[in-house]
């Protein structure tokens, strides 16, 4: 498992870029903030296994989280 200090360093270093990336994709500050938290949670779980650059890895998870969020929103719309 990744060390806490390492994760904190990754978060401080890459969070602004990941936030801007998500903000540009979703157009919503609050949603981007929520997605950043989920992205770095996923990074915490999987970062040790990654062989790609950290920012690329985080942007991959950011896109995945945005896609999942949008799918859930669409499912909710269809239910009502």
pLDDT at 10 exceeding the cut of 80: yes
Q: For residue 54, what are the domain limits? A: 4-79
Token match 């949008």: residue? Answer: 70
**Residue 4 pLDDT grade (very low, low, confident, very high; cuts 50, 70, 90):** low
Per-residue pLDDT at 80 exceeds 90: no
Residue 26: predicted pLDDT: 93
Using one digit for the tens of pLDDT, what is the confidence trace for 22-62? 999 999 999 999 999 999 988 888 888 888 898 999 999 99
The per-residue pLDDT for 46 is 85
**Structure pTM?**
0.84
Count: domains in the chain: 1
At residue 2, the pLDDT reads 59
Q: What is the CATH number of the domain that holds 30?
A: 1.10.1740
């Amino acid at each position: 498992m990744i060390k806490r200090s390492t994760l904190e360093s990754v978060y401080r270093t890459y969070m602004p870029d990941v936030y801007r990336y998500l903000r540009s994709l979703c157009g919503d500050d609050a949603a981007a903030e929520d997605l950043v938290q989920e992205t770095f949670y996923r990074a915490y779980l999987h970062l040790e296994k990654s062989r790609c650059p950290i920012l690329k890895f985080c942007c991959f998870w950011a896109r995945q989280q945005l896609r999942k969020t949008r799918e859930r929103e669409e499912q909710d719309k269809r239910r009502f």
